[in-house]
């Protein structure tokens, strides 16, 4: 395990932010910490990146203890925080070369590394413009590029796409997926379920400083049940007749004139259901097929506690 | 990709500091507002004092010869104080988390800001001095005197810049950090910068005579225009050295305290 935490606790005054968090991240995987605002995601990341001390518990990153060997941990990781950490009045290239020099690369090597990263993050056209003139998406990409100057073993991304427009978000996801292909381990926090779903091998759902679920996106979705068919009717009478016809598995919602059926997701089942209703003279107004999303997981697990 | 990280070492400490100095100088060169302010404000004040108030102030010499050393001190003090704002800006932006997670020495970030401040001040002081000469300032200093003036002003700017850097680390917002610039703009009024201290009321006189700026001004004035220096010379050196030592200690310990939780 390249990241391992046991029983992390942290309070600010009387407010408990982390209440015993255990984490295990395998090398070369993408690990997502998912949770609403104030769940303790950022605090967890700050502890793992040596920027904050835990009140209790312990953690190792790349085999080093985050409290006792912070310098070793820092040399193995990089952090891209919630606020973009670049100099607005330097150009993209100057920012990257500066960081390379501070990582003690030789001047030519720092320049070469900057050029590689500018190319990889699609910033070549803007490299000699001041960062002040960049769009939000370009700034985030530069910020991520800054984290990669020294090829860290673990990259921590704290809400990498918060506040980005959908197209910048997609570009950012591509960049992150690209990193995974090179074997880098990624720990990311996000409030977006779609993001965790798209990127993460493993998801930990955090709520009020505790882990409420842990697993792959699919395993989490299964916790709230399988696929469903939603049938909508024009009248309450049609709804009632359809419900009695389709048996005990069907859940009617008389207010919305909606009938929810468990489904295996196949087209054949849809045919059978629609044929049966047509034969009985019941008119179906709309049909939709519904796969549980992480949103369902999220709401189910964070509300019903 | 075989990027290796090398830690510590005196060679790295120097190259880290140089990298941070290059950064701060680039940033201040591009921050045109602050740069213009650092030059325009002293020029305006000098014009005001020489042409508006000067006629009514009797210092026993040409007033411009009396006031220019004071203006130089005000200019450098004000300029050095703006370091506080750039430091606070770094501390409150995400940049500081990135910088402190790097394998570099704690002093490098602040050193960059302080050296850039010295460079800014050298430039603005030169401009103000050139304008003073054009307005009729007639120094009598020889080459040795000029060197001493440059050395003393350098020490003074260094000390104030480190003090400003420390205050910049402490300040929570850039706005509150800018308060130091105002303080440094007004402190010279309670010194011999614009009028001789013996014209001030008895309550203010001891403050004005014994605050550190007065001996520095008297020394610069003596070296440039030939007025008697007396005890002011060694007092100025002593004050500046003590202020420098205290400021560096204050700035670095504050920085270390603020960046480790």
Residues B118-131: tens digit of each pLDDT: 999 999 899 999 99
Q: Which phi and psi angles does B137 have, rounded to 5°?
A: -70, 125
From-to residues of CATH 3.30.70.100 in chain A: 226-291
Interface of A with B in 218-277 (CB under 8 A): none
Residue B49 maps to a domain: yes
Tell me which residue in A81, A99, A102 faces B97 most closely, judged by beta carbons.
Answer: A81
pTM over 0.90: no
> A226-291 has which fold?
Alpha-Beta Plaits (3.30.70)
Output b/e per residue, B115-127; b: 16+ Cβ within 10 A: bbbbbbbebbbee
For B101, the closest of A52, A74, A109 (CB atoms) is A74
Assess: ipTM above 0.85: no
Task: For residue B215, list its beta bridge partners.
Answer: none
- Indicate if the pLDDT at residue B97 is higher than 50: yes
Inside any domain, residue B3: no
pLDDT of residue B159: 94
In angstroms, the separation between the Cα of residue B84 and the nearest Cα of chain A is 17
Task: Say whether pLDDT at B6 is over 60.
Answer: no
Q: How many domains does chain B have?
A: 1
Q: What is the pLDDT of residue B7?
A: 47
A53, A90, A103: residue with CB nearest B102: A103
**Beta carbons of A240 and A51 less than 8 angstroms apart:** no
A90 touches chain B (CB under 8 A): yes
Q: 């999303």: which residue's tokens?
A: A293
Tens of pLDDT, residue by residue over A152-193, are 889 999 888 887 788 878 888 888 888 888 888 999 998 887
Domain assignment of residue B38, yes or no? yes
State the smallest CA–CA distance between residue B98 and chain A in angstroms.
Answer: 7
- A154 interface with B at CB cutoff 8 Å: no
Q: Report the mean per-residue pLDDT for chain A.
A: 86
Structural domain including B20 reads: 10-258
Query: According to CATH, where is 3.40.50.300 located in chain A?
Result: 3-222
Q: Phi and psi at residue B83, in whole multiples of 5°?
A: -55, -35
The segment with the largest mean pLDDT, out of A83-87, B106-110, B161-165, is B161-165
Out of A49, A84, A104, whose CB is closest to B6? Answer: A104
Contact state of A87 with B27 under an 8 Å Cβ cutoff: yes
Q: Do A83 and B93 touch (CB under 8 A)?
A: yes
CATH code of the domain made up of A3-222: 3.40.50.300
Structure-token pair, residue A200: 């993460």
Q: Could you tell me which chain A residue has the CA closest to the CA of B17? A: A102
Alpha helices in B54-173 (DSSP H): 63-81, 83-92, 95-100, 107-134, 143-170
């Amino acid at each position: 395990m390249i990241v391992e935490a046991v029983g992390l606790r942290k309070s600010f005054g009387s407010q408990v932010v982390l209440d015993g968090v255990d984490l295990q991240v395998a090398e070369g995987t993408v690990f997502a910490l998912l949770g609403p605002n104030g769940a303790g995601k950022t605090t967890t990341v700050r502890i793992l990146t040596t920027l904050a001390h835990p009140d209790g518990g312990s953690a190792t990153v790349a085999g080093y203890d985050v409290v006792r060997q912070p310098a070793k941990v820092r040399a193995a990781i990089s952090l891209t925080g919630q606020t973009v950490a670049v100099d607005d009045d330097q150009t993209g290239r100057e920012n990257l070369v500066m960081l390379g020099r501070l990582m003690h690369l030789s001047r030519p090597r720092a320049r070469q590394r900057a050029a590689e990263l500018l190319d990889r993050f699609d910033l070549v056209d803007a490299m000699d413009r001041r960062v002040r003139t960049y769009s939000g998406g370009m700034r985030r990409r530069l910020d991520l590029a800054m984290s990669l100057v020294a090829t860290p073993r673990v990259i921590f991304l704290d809400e990498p796409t918060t506040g980005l427009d959908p197209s910048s978000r997609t570009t950012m996801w591509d960049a992150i997926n690209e990193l995974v292909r090179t074997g880098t381990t990624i720990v990311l926090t996000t409030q977006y379920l779609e993001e965790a779903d798209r990127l993460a091998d493993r998801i930990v759902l955090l709520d009020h400083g505790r882990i409420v679920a842990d697993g792959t996106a699919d395993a989490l979705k299964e916790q709230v049940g399988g696929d469903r068919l939603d049938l909508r009717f024009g009248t309450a009478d049609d709804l009632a007749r359809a419900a009695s016809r389709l048996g005990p598995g069907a859940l009617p919602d008389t207010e919305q004139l909606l009938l929810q059926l468990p489904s295996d997701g196949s087209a054949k089942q849809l045919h059978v259901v629609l044929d049966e209703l047509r034969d009985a003279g019941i008119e179906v107004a709309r049909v939709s097929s519904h796969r549980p999303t992480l949103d369902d997981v999220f709401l189910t697990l964070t509300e019903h506690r | 990709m075989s990027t290796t990280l090398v830690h510590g070492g005196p060679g790295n400490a120097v190259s880290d500091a140089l990298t941070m100095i290059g950064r701060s100088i680039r940033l201040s060169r591009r921050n045109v507002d602050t740069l213009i302010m650092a030059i325009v404000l002293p020029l305006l004040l000098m014009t005001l004092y020489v042409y508006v108030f000067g006629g009514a102030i009797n210092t026993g010499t040409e007033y411009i010869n009396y006031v220019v050393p004071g203006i130089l001190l005000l200019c450098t003090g004000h300029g050095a104080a703006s370091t506080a704002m750039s430091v606070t800006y770094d501390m409150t932006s995400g940049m500081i988390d990135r910088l402190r997670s790097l394998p570099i020495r704690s002093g490098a970030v602040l050193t960059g800001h302080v050296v850039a401040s010295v460079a800014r001040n050298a430039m603005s002081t030169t401009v103000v001095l050139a304008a003073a000469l054009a307005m009729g300032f007639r120094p009598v200093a020889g080459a040795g005197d000029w060197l001493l003036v440059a050395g003393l002003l350098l020490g003074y700017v260094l000390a104030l810049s480190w003090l400003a850097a420390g205050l910049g680390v402490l300040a929570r917002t850039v706005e509150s950090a800018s308060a130091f610039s105002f303080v440094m703009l007004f402190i010279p009024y309670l010194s011999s910068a614009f009028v001789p201290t013996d014209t001030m009321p008895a309550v203010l006189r001891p403050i004005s005579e014994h605050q550190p700026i007065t001996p520095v001004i008297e020394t610069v004035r003596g070296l440039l225009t030939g007025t008697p220096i007396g005890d002011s010379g060694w007092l100025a050196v002593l004050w500046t050295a003590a202020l420098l030592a205290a400021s560096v200690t204050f700035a670095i310990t504050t920085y270390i305290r603020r960046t480790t939780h």
